[in-house]
Structure 1
Amino acid sequence: MSIIKNISNEKPFEVIPRELLQSCDKKRKDTNNKALSLEAIGLLCNLQSYPEGWELHKTELYNRYEKNGKSKVMRIWDELVEAGYIIQFKIRSGNNYEYHYYFSVYGITEEQIKEKEEYHQAKVQNKFKLDFRKSEVQKSEGNQDNLDFSNSEVQTGKSSLGSPKPEANIIHNQYNTHEDNTHEDNTHYNQEENSGSSSINNDLLNKLKKEFKIKLTDSYINSMLTLFNSFNKDIIEYAIEYSSENATDPKKYIKSVLKHWKENDIKTLQEAKDFKIKPQAINSKNLKSKELTPKWLEEKTREVSYEQKNYYNKVMQELREKITNQFKNEIDNNTRILNNMNNIITKKYYDWNIEERSLLNKNKNKFIEDQLQIFGEMCEFINKHAI
């Protein structure tokens, strides 16, 4: 388990000391702390800024930032450790290790370091890197990938730090300083009482893994967690069950289901059940064939000829005209319906599934008729659940 805490005695309300913001200046007045790069200042301020209840998974840490990738974030992290804004502890707990991190926008004092070393009965490890590819973390935590940022206060009560099982790794970005709490209460993360989204997401991922009988990669976990954020637990559990029952490739199908629900602003379990989605029509033969297709050949077969492109554009133009004529009132009076129409008529050829493409090429009238029916059902659904 890994824990990061804000060691400041003040609650973080995005009050950033001027000394930190100017620590990159060559002519800075305060030379007690080491100079920082603009990137290091930015990362530290970013850690400080998360509101109460916010959670950020470890797999997002290196992918969250628009301009900084994993290697840069690791380098910046090490810079903050070296400059004394972050301290790190690696502590043995049975067969596993616990990782504790503390940060402060004011810089961590020698007195604070001593206090934490006495409490943890361990020395600060300045050269410990947040690298989960080659470190012992993979061995000791069972390849645990979920390092979370959490801004919620540490709750008092029984701690589960001694648990030998891999647990969600939470970074606490708020240091509990209530006078009526003990020091022990302030520094332990209460896994049993915390009912935050991190443990819920882990449960859902485990359910998905067992139900689909698949291995979860980092990229797949990232994409699923992003979709999970839009729904409650009941809806996601229903999506897992629905995909398992209606698809030969539920791993891909559930993403499509959740995206459809997100696009149509599904908020309740009943709305999800009422929303009609076609079962996945891919047989095992097609899946096997696709797996054996070289990437270069697959890309070549996805090229659309000039004639095919012209034909497709004409069909989509005809579909647009029929939708706008048949559902004019709905489109004019509901932005969601208008957006859904635009999503349909701007789809690229290969965004349609195999059956739809086949029907489009063989019988455009039937294809258009089917799409009009689906669009009509969608309009009915949106109007029915309109607030």
Structure 2
Amino acid sequence: MSKGNIKNYAKDKGFEIIPRGLLQHPRLSLQAIGLLCNLQSYPETWNLNKTEVYTRFPKNKKTSVANAWEELVEEKYIIQLRRREGKKWDYIYYFNLTPPFTNVEVQELENKESAKAMSFRFSEAQNEKPKMGSTKSADNRINIKDNTHKDNIHKNNTQDQNHNQEDQLKDYIESTNLPMGLKKYFFDQVKVLVNDPTFDIQSIEYFYNTYVQLIDSKCTRDDIDTLNDTEFTHTVRKMFKKVDRPIYKMESLLKEWVLSAIHYKKENFFDRN
């Protein structure tokens, strides 16, 4: 079974044939088409994970790559799977140039990986009910068919949907590679965060795992050029309490607060010595 990697569903032929249907796809951006073609160019032996994809294109910001990825998921050129491994989630990704994945192929991959297909952001399983407002929502069809109980049904469905979104966000938080203290803080705030469209935990995780020159989980208070996990958690919690909503440009905001915390750490060090 695959584990945490991006896999090519098709066989490697040593050269690339790009379908015209993909190149002229009316619902895909140039970024999405380019990303899929780039993924196709790597041999099957290449070990590639999703986090690495975000850093592979220096001229594109992470948000641009993430949006392109989402487009490919929506059009079923990428299938995202997850399965439970102990207390954590394990994620597997498959992509294919042509044709987009069929429901039969998705089910085959689910059986092969002992996993479940999911959508883009908070790991919503594709076989679960769509969000309220979707034209495919079974909840909406019930409301239309039975107007007598419309208000009660809508209220109950909204409550169920809120709980479902909270559970999805909790699962996503649990799966991240973030300090336990920060995960606990986000868990405690999940009712607020699930309704904050600018809460970008992916950027927080990306920052924590990428800016190694600023964050070192094993450093001490005398290592004045980096923050350890406790210091990083304290900084992020303070940032969330102080900064007005909505929060935009999470990565640059985090960098600003982390650099400020390191500056404060240096001042305290020199005061002690």
Same fold (TM over 0.5): no
TM-score (norm. length: structure 2): 0.45
